[in-house]
């Protein structure tokens, strides 16, 4: 049996390019070598090991490192930017209206955007219709970069949550009836004109009529699909002539995949 050349006494399993044998694939993992490294870190060879630096020593270290960053000289270390340099940097990083129009055309179709003649910044309308900065009052305000980013994200990637509309202040946000709503609060609710037991009777009739067979793939049917969406045309909800049986997979992959499905109508933006 070949023993480890680093003195741990274990069986050697790996041979390195230098001809030595070791118990581990990496010689650093050898217990004998690790113990030797630990001993070298303490005692006379490293008298500072385990000792805490005094405040004076820390101050000296900071002074010696001042003006360096990752080992490279940094003449701007500790210096503050002037207002002029800050304005230049912010202007170089700021997108123009043309940049937004090219990168986010849908955003420009949904929102009214203009350029402030004095500052050159983008301006939008406040969603609160009672605000002086709203579209109804012909007012404008300058949104923050976060507001622009979140509004574009909400328009281009609708998730069914808040729309992140533009508000010029927290007061306008809290007073607006559309804040944190997923539908128009002034729309009239359509009352359901049938009871749950009546719907179950209708569902059972459709499944029995189709012999519990999916009308798409002919597998066992578990759902009833409405040709006319219940949310848009509730009066046909119990009409068997506008319903057929289908399995759960086909119900959502085929039955609700057309352009007029309620899921797609909810995210439609009309121009």
**Per-residue model confidence as pLDDT tens digits over 117-130:** 888 888 999 998 88
Query: Is residue 223 predicted with pLDDT exceeding 70?
Result: yes
User: What pLDDT does 265 receive?
Assistant: 42
Quick one: which of 92, 168, 88, 93 has its CA closest to 126?
168
Asked whether the predicted pLDDT for residue 260 surpasses 70, the reply is no
Token pair of 166, please? 């533009």
Cβ distance 231 to 220 under 8 Å? no
Confidence category of residue 141, pLDDT binned at 50, 70, 90: very high
CA dist., res. 33 & res. 81, Å (int): 51
Is the per-residue pLDDT at 262 higher than 50? no
Phi-psi region of 269 (alpha: psi -120 to 50; beta: other; left: phi over 0): beta
Q: What is the phi/psi pair of residue 223, to 5°? A: -120, 165
Task: Write down the pTM of the prediction.
Answer: 0.38
pLDDT band with cut points at 50, 70 and 90 for residue 268: very low
Q: State phi, psi for 268 to the nearest 5 degrees.
A: -75, 140
Higher pLDDT, 8 or 163: 8
Report the percentage of the chain scoring pLDDT > 90: 10
What torsion, rounded to 10 degrees, do the Cα atoms 221, 225, 227, 230 define?
A: 160
Q: Which of 230, 174, 169 is nearest to 202 (CA)?
A: 230
Across all residues in the chain, what is the average pLDDT? 77
Q: Which of 38-47, 75-84, 133-142, 185-194 has the lowest mean pLDDT?
A: 185-194
The 3-state DSSP class for residue 149 equals: helix
């Amino acid at each position: 049996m070949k023993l480890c050349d680093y003195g741990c006494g274990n069986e050697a399993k790996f041979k390195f390019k230098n001809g030595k044998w070791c118990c581990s694939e990496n010689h650093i993992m050898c217990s004998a070598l690790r113990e030797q490294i630990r001993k070298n870190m303490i005692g006379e060879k490293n008298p500072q090991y385990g000792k805490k630096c005094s405040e004076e020593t820390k101050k000296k270290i900071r002074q010696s490192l001042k003006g360096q960053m990752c080992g490279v000289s940094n003449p701007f270390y500790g210096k503050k930017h002037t207002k002029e340099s800050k304005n230049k940097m912010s202007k170089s990083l700021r997108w123009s209206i043309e940049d937004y129009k090219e990168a986010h055309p849908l955003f420009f179709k949904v929102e009214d955007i203009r350029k402030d003649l004095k500052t050159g910044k983008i301006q939008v309308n406040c969603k609160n219709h009672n605000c002086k900065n709203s579209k109804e009052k012909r007012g404008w305000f300058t949104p923050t970069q976060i507001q622009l980013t979140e509004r574009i994200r909400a328009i281009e990637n609708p998730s069914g949550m808040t729309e992140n509309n533009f508000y010029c202040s927290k007061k306008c946000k809290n007073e607006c009836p559309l804040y944190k709503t997923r539908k128009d609060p002034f729309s009239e609710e359509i009352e359901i004109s049938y009871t749950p037991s009546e719907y179950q009777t209708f569902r059972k009739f459709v499944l029995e009529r189709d012999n519990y067979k999916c009308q798409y793939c002919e597998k066992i049917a578990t759902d009833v699909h409405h040709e006319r969406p219940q949310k848009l045309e509730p009066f046909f909800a119990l009409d068997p002539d506008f319903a057929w049986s289908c399995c759960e997979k086909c119900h959502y992959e085929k039955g609700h995949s057309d352009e007029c499905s309620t899921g797609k109508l909810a995210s439609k933006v009309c121009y």
